[in-house]
Each structure stands twice: as structure tokens, then as C-alpha cells.
């Protein structure tokens, strides 16, 4: 099953639910392959992982670049998972789209309108994150920059906004789920890892997002979070992710949701 | 069962869950008694309703005052429900505490420190709302103003904070549930009505709060919301509340939570 | 000249400018009298100083209470300055109004509506601070709670709002000056000390507020800020305040503003 | 005098002040040439004007593109003013840098790290706007993405942040001026037009920014604002701009600042 077919399934099955998981950044062959193997063993259909990383400071790890994309492609070959990874720039876009099944546009590029237009002309699903300083009106307009160019396969991701509260890294705007669902027909998923900022808050935010009606979750998972080159505090280890999935599945099952798994063509 | 006993049950039973519901403001005998009758028929143990209303503008309905408190007392007599109502000021406190089983301190008084101290010397449970401009650190300190005076029966209420997002009236800070749970031993409940601002968002926010681990929900319910003298857009009618409760109960049952009902002594 | 006459002068002289200065909290006879002597030597007409202090934590210094009010009264006798001090609660109001020339309502009480109504029935000017979580619409409505009760002598104070920016304690909303000036006829002054949070930012914020058209400044000054029992980082010492005043005066003089000084009756 | 020399003058003369003005967007030959003629007659050294416009909605005017750049070049030839215009994307960068003297990176691209790196390799001054959802720490890091690549000629622009206050389009963070000045050696200027959102607030914000120590102002000016294709409410007409400049000049003169004018080589 390719990503377009998978996307259409996500969208057509109103009560469907999709897990996306994987490391913040691709760091090594061992890291990404072991994570993919673990996730696919749980039936997770989509692997996330950044090869180009938008980092606040220029002195921090900026991603492996094309070498990282190649590792993601190997993980796909070995597991059959679909791969989502970020294109930070129009110049990366061609390269990223050669490797990715789903192209991610990050929060800091949510109003990079030229990038939005370009990805609107590519025939692959787009995972568009809300800018952490953007209103929902602006977010919907950003999606329109993509869809106006022809690409209608858009996944919207609420990932937290900037507020005065500093106990968490960002404030998850859980209301975005019902508000976006009534304004657009695209699947709306939640990234609980970035607003949480700390691993121990990821599970309750995941439960909340699921119960609020999100079409899926996108979660950072790493074999050894304390050694991660980015976002080490918020990534889950395998055991934590499995526990999270078990508890989220309870809600999904109780509320009659269909968990989408990767299926061979 | 009196309110202190009920509170101790809320707190001791770690997985307990409590519904609090009722109109924004007490408006008439018929309104409050019919609402109480409906809610008690669903097993809701606590009736909310404001007799003194903190309104942004001095030109709007300010509440019925003591007449409203008397109507709440009648609703208690007729149904056996416990009553929670707001004391806006130290001067109201004695009066309110004659009628209320649980004393509410509203969002706008979350740092009215003299009021917090006074309610800390009363032997009734206190329902303390987070100030919409307050951090969780400040909220925890406000609770300490109460507990330092002796009153340890505190219920904390997350009810949304001020952010740049204007699609909803406030932004429900869903992360407050796990953050507060790790910082204090008090029950943490969620008011989904005020952040929603619109009735149709109350259910998804309620689902989210429940799944995130809230110890309860506090929801505005009115026999005829369009005729309400305050918060008319966000109050649920009876049918909407019953639907909400049914769906929230599904999550509670699936996750092994105990729904506290009013029980005769 | 009493406070009512002074207020009327502030309001009638459109281009007038008033300095208010003094310690965050009254801490000792020596502290308050030496500060008052210094400020009056510069012609500052109004002395600020808190006797009842609204503190986030119950474990910190809560103010000297009535003993502090008495010290403020002595400072007035010795210097002829007018005294502004905060009433945190309706129960303090009678006591505070016996000593204060101008009654301050603090940021945390900006929507303590009962307190606003009560101070609206007192025949003394009221200095009303904006709640740090309140919109300007709400602030104007809070002023109407006072004026609706009869007291038209209101001074509005912009003192910073809560935002995601953490380099300063609060974000001074400098736009509040022109926005409020077009909405109400009351003098609008700025407290630069609280948004600054650090002494070195107080002067540029003061310059900005003055140039934006504020009717005055309210600044925390302490003989020895490092030993202050509250807000020690943001209080100015005498030398810093004098430098600030000199630079602000340059702007006032250049723009044709009239600096109000205390004048014997 | 070329832009590099001008920049070095801005930076070396600590008390220098630079006006930048011009239309939000280049709309026609007549519009841009008449505006440039007017501004140069006042001695304004730098003309702003967008040829590529980052617009929230894809359905609104997106700028004239290269035709707009050519009009800016003509305005430069006719007046000798330096031209600053925005590059929205790495693909525009080469084109924009052929025409612009100073390259603007807009608020929505403040964390478009690839664009920042590319502009860091061009030997022209960069005018970098703060992202409206970005902290000052992040803003300083964005500047480091530029300077790390070699380009040290950076002008930082505070242009308002997202807050809960909706009376103005954004909240001008006036404190950014002193905070940035102590953290970096680059000139810090203020754009009062975008936070104001309305023409009548632009002057008080300009006065505030100047008095707070900003190294300059960047102001939207249009021959006929009501007919502008973007930002029509906040652009000043010629008369309004001249009045603003006169009043700001009073502060500059009183505080010993040097107003930089365009000077022939």
C-alpha cells in the first residue's frame, strides 16, 4: 500500500486512527532500524524521523541530511513502514521527496508560503504542522496554500502553541482538534511530544488528544532517549511507547475507532 | 453524606471521578429546581450555580444574591445534591458558607489572597479555579494560601488560560492535569465550558480532560441555554449534557475509573 | 493641596505629567522616611509604598499592615507628599482609606468587582492597575465598576501583561497608552518597574512610556534595593532614579509637557 | 554611499538613528516613485517596499514579483535612496539580491534556517524581523545563523508579538529594544506599523520606540492608504508620516541622537 492509498483510507474512514512514531532525528543506522523494527512489530504504519532538523541554535546538531534520508529508506525496505520526514526548504524538497512517502512541513515553516506552494505541486501526502505562533485561521490558510496548487492530501498537526505557561515546553491547544475538524475535511492529528517537553507528560496528552477526536498521534520514540542528539527529554523509550499505545488503544477500542495498521499491498 | 465526607472520598479513591453540573447563574426557582431534578436523576452528586456573578461589565446581570443562595438550598433539599457556589468577596463569604456545601473561588479571585486566607479558615471544601492569567506555579501557591490556614480540602479547577488563539473563549491548558497531579495531592478537575465558549466544543474538551486523568468535570447546564442571562452560548441543554455524560462514561468505564454518585448517609 | 485637587489638575491639564515613586513595600521608618525625603527634594508629588502586599507565595513578606500605613502618614507629614497605597480587600479598605490620599487597586484585584464597587463609593482618587491577564476592554470595564458608583477620579495604570516572552518579568503593552487614551478620559500612567523586572530596563521603559504619551510614571525606588524584602531586582536606588528622572524630563521638556510638582495649599 | 558603508555608519555611530519608510507592497510605478520622491525630499535614506509578499491567505495580492523589484530599482536611480525588500525564499534570494541594497527576512521566515544561512553568505546588509511567535533568545539565535556564515551586517527589527490583547494587531514588545541592545552589537530598530495595525497608533509607538533607544524606525507609507492592496489600515499617508517624523525628530534632537540621511558618495 502506498502513502496516497493510505492517506485516502485515513480520510475516508471517518473513525480511523493512525499512529506515527519514530525518533526526533535520524542519528545512526542502528538507531533508526531498531526503532523501525520495534514500531512495525506493534503494527505502527508510519515511521517519523528528521534528516534535516530545524534547530533554534546553529551550534546544535542539524541532522544527517541525505545520509539520514537513506537510512529512512532502508528502514522502509526492511519493515514496509511508510516514512514521513521534514523538508525545511524548497531546495531540499526534491531530495526529500525522492525518499519520503509523506512530506512534513515543520512548525517554523508553517507560513513559508513558497514551500507550501511547492509541496502543493507534489503528488505525495503532506503533513503540515501548525506554527506555534499561528492562529487556527492562519493554519487553515496555510493548508489552502497547499491545496490550491492541487495537492489535496493534507494531514494537519496540532503541536502546541506559545503561551505564558512554562511548565510545559508549549501549550497543547487541545481545542484545535474539534475546531479544525469543523473547518476542514483533512485528518487532524496531534503531536504530544513537543508540547509536553518531558516524557512523563506525553501519555496523558496522547490520551487527551485521542479522546478529543484526533485522527492520530505523532510521537517521538528513541531507543535510548538520554543519548538522543535532540529533544532527549521528551522522547519515549520503547517500553514507554508500548505502555502509551496500550492505554490509548483502550480508549480507541471503547469509542469504536479503527486503528489503521500497515498492510502489504 | 456531607461535603467533607464526599471530598475525602474524592481524594482517597485515586481513580474516582466526579461530575459537577448546573447553570452558570441561578436565575429562577423553576430553572434551578428543574436542572437539579434532571441532574440528580443522572446520579450527578454536585450542583453548581452562581448567586454572585463576577461579570466583566457592570451593566450585565450580577446574580440574584442571597435569593439565589436560597434557591440552591431548596434544590439541595429536594434532591440531596451537594451545592457549590461562588464567594466573590470576604464580605460574601459568611453568607455563602451558610448555604454552600462547597465554596467556589472564581478565576478572577485566584490571587485575592485575603479571600483565600479566609476560606482557609472555614471547615468546608473549597473549589479553587485557576486564574486565566496565572501560571501553574502561581495556582499552586494560591492553594497554599488556603491550606496554610488549615483547610486541606481543596479541589483545583483548570478552566482555560488567555492566549492569542481566539477560536475558543480561552485555551484549555490540558497539560495542567498531569502537571498539577504531580505537584499537589488535591483532586484536579476541569471546567470545559469556559474555555470552549461554545456548546459544541464542550464534549470533546470533556472527553480530553477525562482521558488526561482529571478527577472530574464541572459543566454548565441550563434548561434553555439561549435564554440564559449569562454564558448562553456555552451552556448545554439537558439532552446535550446527557449525551456528553454517556460518552465520557464510556471512557471512564474503559479506563477503570469509579464514578462517584451522591449517596444518602 | 489635597489629592482630589491634585487629581483634577492631572486630568484638566491635558499635557501634564506626574511622577509617582517609592518603595515596593514599606519596610521600616528609616526606609520610608529617607525615600520620601529624597523624592520630595526632587519635587516628586506622590509617594507610593505598600503596607499590604499581594505576594504569590504565602511564605514571603506580606507587608507591615497598619504599622506601614502609619509610617506612610508620617512621611506625608514630614514632606507634604501625597500617599498612594494598596487596599487588597474590602476589609482593608476602610483602614487604608484613613491613611491613603490615593487608593491603589492592584493588578491581581483588577476584576475583584466588589472591591471596585466599594472604592467607587469613597471620595478619594483611585489608582487602578490593569490585571496582567486582562484585555484593555476588560480594564475599561473594571474602571466602569468604580465610576458607576460615583467615584470619577480614576488613574489607569498599564503595568505589563503575561506573554510567552520571559526576558522581562511581564511584557509592557506600550500600545495601551494610546488605546486607553482614546477610550476613556482618565489619566493613563505606566508602571515600568513590574514589566522590567530588572532595574536596568526601567529607564528605557520609562522613556518609552513618556514619549508614547503616558500621563505619568509609577516607579519603585528603595534606598538599598538589594536589601528590599520584595521586588529587590527591579527597584531603583536614589541615584538611578535621579538619572532616570533627568532623562525623562528631557523628553517632557522637549515635547512641551508640564511636570506636576507638589504644591503647598 | 552604498548599503554596506551606510550600515557601518549605523553601527559605528552609537547614537545614530535611521528612518526606513515606504509602502507595504510595490503596487505601481506611480505609487512607488511618488513615495520615494516624497521620502527623499525629507532626507529619508532607505526605501522599503515588498515585491514578494507573505500573505496569510493565498487568495490575496501576492506582490508584483520581479516587476516590483524593477520599480524599486528605478526609485533608487531617481532618488539615490537605498532599497530594502523581502526575500521570502532561497529561490527568490538571488533575484532579490540583484535589486536590493538591503535584504529583508520577514517575520514568518525568522526561523527559516536555510534562508538565514544563504543570506549569511551574501555580502549585503540583512534586515531580520523577529518572528511574532519567537522569544528574544530565539531571535538572537536566528541572527547567529546569518552571522555564522560570514555576514555580520545585520539589522534586527522588533515588530510585535502575539498576545491575548486584540486592540492592536500585535503587541509591540518595547522591552525588546534594551534587551537586544545588551545581548548583541547589531542595530535594533522598530517597525511600529505592524503591531499598531491602525494608522493612528503608529505615531505614539514610534515615539516610544525612539525614546526607548531604538536605532531606527521602519514605517509603512503609501500615497493613498485606503487604496492599498495590503495593510491599508496601518499605512500612513504622506502628511501623517511627515507629522510623525517631525515629532520623532524632536525627541531625537532633545536626546542628542544623530539622524542619518542619505549622502551621495
- Residues from chain B that touch C141, judged by Cβ atoms under 8 A, are 56-58
CATH assignment at residue A12: 3.20.20.70
Rounded Cα gap, residues D208 and D188, in angstroms:
14
**Chain D contact for B166, CB < 8 A?**
yes
Comparing CB atoms, the residue among A174, A201, A250 nearest residue B208 is: A174
Contacting partners of chain C (3+ CB pairs under 8 A): A, B, D
Contacts of B50 in chain C (CB under 8 A): none
Backbone angles phi, psi at B257, to 5 degrees: -90, 155
Q: Grid coordinates standing for A46?
A: 508510519
Cα–Cα distance, A228 to A35 (Å, whole number)? 13
C193 and C235 Cβ atoms separated by less than 8 Å = yes
CA of C164 to nearest chain D CA: how many angstroms apart?
7
Q: Where are the alpha helices (DSSP H) in C81-167?
A: 90-99, 113-119, 136-147
Q: Which residues contact D254 (CB under 8 A, 6 or more apart)?
A: C250, C251, C253, C254, C255
* Reported ipTM: 0.96
Count Cβ neighbours within 10 Å for each residue of D201-239 and write b for 16 or more, e otherwise: bbbbbbbbbbbbbbbbbbbbbbbebeebbbbeebbbebe
Judged by a CB distance cut-off of 8 A, whether residue B162 touches chain D is yes
In a domain, A134, yes or no: yes
Mapped onto helix, strand or coil, the DSSP state of residue C68 is: helix
Close Cβ partners of C69 (under 8 Å, ≥ 6 residues apart): C26, C51, C85, C95, C96, C98, C99, C100
Q: Whose grid coordinates read 478620559?
A: C185
Check C167 against D175: CB less than 8 A apart: yes
Q: How many CB pairs under 8 A join A and B?
A: 133
* CA A13 to each of CA A8, A9, A18, A190: distance values in angstroms, whole numbers, following the listed order: 8, 6, 11, 18
Largest CA distance in chain B: 48
SS3 string, D89-113, reads CHHHHHHHHHHCCEEEECHHHCCCH
Nine cell digits for residue C120:
467607587
Rounded to two decimals, the pTM is 0.97
Low-confidence ranges of chain B (pLDDT < 70): 14, 263-265
Among the residue ranges A3-17, A247-261, B23-37, D112-126, the one predicted with the least confidence is: A3-17
Q: Do B211 and A213 touch (CB under 8 A)?
A: no
Nearest residue of B to residue A205, measured between CA atoms: B212
Burial C155-191 (b: 16+ CB within 10 A, else e): bbbbbbbbbbbebbbbbbbbbbbbbbbebbebbbbbb
Residue C225 is classified by DSSP as: G
User: Residue B106 has what pLDDT?
Assistant: 97
Q: Which chain C residue lies closest to A171 (C-alpha atoms)?
A: C164
pLDDT score for A264: 52
Q: What is the pLDDT of residue B12?
A: 83
Locus of grid cell 446520579 = B43
What are the cell numbers at D171? Answer: 503587541
The residue to which cell 492535569 is assigned:
B177
Among the listed ranges A11-20, A25-34, D161-170, which one has the minimum average pLDDT value? A11-20
Identify which of C58, C90, C114 has the shortest CB distance to residue B144: C58
**Shortest CA gap C173–chain A (Å):** 15
Distance from CA of A60 to the nearest CA of B (A): 28
* Residue A144 touches chain D, beta carbons under 8 Å: yes
Query: D162 and A109: CB-CB below 8 Å?
Result: no
Instruction: Name residues of chain C where pLDDT drops below 50.
Output: 265
C-alpha cell, A166: 512554562
Mean pLDDT calculated for residue range A45-71: 95
Q: Determine, yes or no, domain membership for D59.
A: no
Cβ(C199)–Cβ(C236) below 8 Å = yes
What is the structure's pLDDT at D264? 52
Domain membership of residue B263 (yes or no) is no
Find chain C residues with C-beta within 8 A of A162's C-beta.
164
At A262 the pLDDT is: 79
Whether residue A46 has pLDDT greater than 80: yes
The answer to whether C133 contacts B137, with C-beta atoms less than 8 Å apart, is: no
Mean of per-residue pLDDT scores for chain D:
96
- What is the bridge-based pairing of β-strands B154-158 and B102-105? unpaired
Instruction: Write the pLDDT tens digit of every residue in A199-246.
Output: 999 999 999 999 999 999 999 999 999 999 999 999 999 999 999 999
A265 inside domain: no
Please check whether residue B210 touches A, CB under 8 A. Answer: yes
Residue D263 scores a pLDDT above 70: no
pLDDT digits 0-9 by tens, D34-81: 999 999 999 999 999 999 999 999 999 999 999 999 999 999 999 999
Residues across chain D: 265
Check residue B264 and give its pLDDT.
52
pLDDT at A34 over 70: yes
pLDDT recorded at residue B263 = 67
The predicted-structure confidence for B96-113, as pLDDT tens digits, reads as follows: 999 999 999 999 999 999
- Alpha-carbon span C204 to D190, nearest angstrom: 14
- Which chains are adjacent to chain A, needing at least 3 Cβ pairs under 8 Å? B, C, D
Q: Which residue, D189, D184, D179, is CA-closest to D158?
A: D189
d(CA D129, CA D138): 12
Reply yes or no on whether the pLDDT at A265 is more than 50: no
Percentages of chain A per state (helix, strand, coil), in multiples of 5: 45, 15, 40
Residue C95: CB atoms within 10 Å: 16
Residue C265 lies in a domain: no
Answer yes or no: do D167 and C137 touch at CB < 8 A. yes
Q: Is residue D17 domain-resident?
A: yes
Direct distance between the N- and C-terminal alpha carbons of chain A, in angstroms, rounded to an integer: 4
Predicted pLDDT of residue C262: 79
Distance from CA of A172 to the nearest CA of D (A): 15
Which residues, in sequence order, are bridge partners of residue A190? Answer: A158, A217
Task: Tell me the nearest-neighbour CA distance from A166 into chain C, angstroms.
Answer: 8
Q: D115 and chain C: CB distance < 8 Å anywhere?
A: no
Q: How many CB atoms lie within 10 A of CB D258?
A: 14
Whether the CB of C41 is below 8 Å from some CB of chain B: the reply is: no
A132, A136, A167, A198: which to substitute to probe chain B, counting the most B Cβ within 10 Å? A167
In a domain? residue D264: no
Q: What are phi and psi of A69, to 5 degrees?
A: -60, -40
Of C54, C58, C111, the CB nearest to B108: C111
Neighbours of chain B (3+ CB pairs under 8 A): A, C, D
The answer to whether B109 faces chain C, any CB pair under 8 Å, is: yes
d(CA B163, CA D164): 5
Cα A193 to Cα A232, C25, C143, D96, D235: the distances in Å are 11, 43, 43, 38, 41
> Whole-angstrom Cα distance, residue C206 to residue C61?
27
Residues, chain C: 265
Give the cell for residue B227.
435564554
Residue B264 covered by a domain:
no
The alpha carbon of residue A73 is apart from the nearest alpha carbon of chain B, in Å, by: 35
Mutate to test the interface with A, among B140, B211, B246, B254 (most CBs of A within 10 A): B211
Q: How far is C223 from chain B (nearest CA, A)?
A: 28
| Residues in chain C closer than 8 A to A163 (CB atoms) | 164
**D138 class by beta-carbon count within 10 Å (0-12 exposed, 13-18 middle, 19+ buried):** middle
pLDDT, position C32: 98
Q: Is C195 on the interface with B (CB under 8 A)?
A: no
The whole-chain average pLDDT of chain A stands at: 96
The total number of structural domains in chain A stands at 1
User: Helix crossing, D66-79 with D90-99: angle to 10°?
Assistant: 20
Chain C residues inside the 8 Å CB shell of B114: 88-89, 91-92
Q: What b/e sequence results for A66-98 when a residue is b if at least 16 CB atoms lie within 10 Å of its CB, and e otherwise?
A: eebbebbbebbeebebbbbbbbbbbbbbebbbe
Is C164 in Cβ contact with A162 (below 8 Å)? yes
Whether residue C134 and residue B133 make contact (CB cut-off 8 A), yes or no, is yes
Q: How many helices (H) and strands (E) does chain C have?
A: 10, 9
3-state secondary structure chain B: CCHHHHHHHHHHCCCEEEEEEECCECCCHHHHHHHHHHHHHCCCCEEECECCCCCCCCCCCCCCCHHHHHHHHHHHHHHCCEEEEECCCHHHHHHHHHHCCEEEECHHHCCCHHHHHHHCCCCCCEEEECCCCCCHHHHHHHHHHHHCCCCCCEEEEECCECCCCCCCCCECECCHHHHHHHHCCCCEEECCHHHHCCHHHHHHHHHHHHHCCCCEEEEEECCCHHHCCCCCCCCECHHHHHHHHHHHHHHHHHCCCEEECCCCC
Whole domain around residue B99: which residue ranges? 3-258
A167 in C contact zone (CB under 8 Å): no
- pLDDT tens digits for range C224-250: 999 999 999 999 999 999 999 999 999
Which of C168, C178, C206, C243 is best to mutate for the D interface (most D CBs within 10 A)? C178
Residue D233, pLDDT > 70, answer yes
Lowest mean pLDDT among A228-232, D129-133, D146-150, D237-241: A228-232
| Chain C CB within 8 Å of residue D150 CB | no
Instruction: Residue C131: list chain B partners with CB under 8 A.
Output: 133
For D95, list phi and psi in degrees, rounded to 5. -60, -50
Question: Is residue D145 within 8 angstroms of chain A, CB to CB?
Answer: yes
Closest approach of chain D CAs to the CA of A118, in angstroms? 11
Interface check D89 vs A, CB under 8 A: yes
Beta bridge partners of C146: none
Would you mind telling me the total number of residues written for chain A in this entry?
Answer: 265
Counting as contact any 3 or more CB pairs under 8 A, the partners of D are A, B, C
- Of B250-254, D21-25, D90-94, where does mean pLDDT reach its minimum? D90-94
Quote the cell numbers at residue C97. 482609606
Amino acid at each position: 500500500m502506498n502513502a496516497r492509498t493510505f492517506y485516502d483510507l485515513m480520510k475516508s474512514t471517518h473513525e480511523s486512527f493512525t499512529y506515527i512514531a519514530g525518533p526526533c532525528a535520524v542519528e545512526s543506522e542502528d538507531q533508526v532500524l531498531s526503532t523501525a523494527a520495534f514500531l512495525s512489530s506493534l503494527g505502527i504504519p508510519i515511521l517519523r524521523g528528521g534528516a534535516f532538523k530545524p534547530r533554534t541554535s546553529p551550534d546544535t546538531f542539524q541532522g544527517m541530511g541525505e545520509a539520514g534520508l537513506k537510512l529512512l529508506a532502508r528502514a522502509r525496505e526492511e519493515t514496509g513502514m511508510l516514512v514521513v520526514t521534514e523538508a525545511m526548504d524548497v531546495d531540499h524538497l526534491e531530495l526529500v521527496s525522492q525518499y519520503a512517502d509523506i512530506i512534513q512541513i515543520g512548525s517554523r515553516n508553517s507560513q513559508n508560503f513558497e514551500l507550501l506552494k511547492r509541496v502543493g505541486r507534489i503528488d505525495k501526502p503532506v503533513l503540515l504542522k501548525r506554527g506555534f505562533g499561528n492562529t487556527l485561521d492562519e493554519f487553515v490558510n496555510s493548508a489552502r496554500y497547499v491545496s490550491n496548487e492541487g495537492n489535496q492530501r493534507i494531514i494537519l498537526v496540532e503541536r502546541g502553541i506559545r503561551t505564558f505557561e512554562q511548565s510545559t515546553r508549549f501549550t497543547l491547544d487541545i481545542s484545535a482538534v474539534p475546531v479544525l475538524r469543523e473547518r476542514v475535511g483533512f485528518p487532524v492529528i496531534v503531536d504530544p511530544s513537543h508540547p509536553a517537553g518531558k516524557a512523563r507528560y506525553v501519555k496523558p496528552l496522547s490520551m487527551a488528544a485521542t479522546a478529543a477526536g484526533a485522527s492520530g498521534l505523532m510521537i517521538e520514540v528513541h531507543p535510548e532517549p538520554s543519548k538522543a542528539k535532540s529533544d532527549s527529554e521528551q522522547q519515549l523509550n520503547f517500553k514507554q511507547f508500548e505502555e502509551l499505545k496500550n492505554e490509548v488503544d483502550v480508549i480507541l477500542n471503547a469509542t469504536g475507532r479503527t486503528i489503521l495498521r500497515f498492510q502489504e499491498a
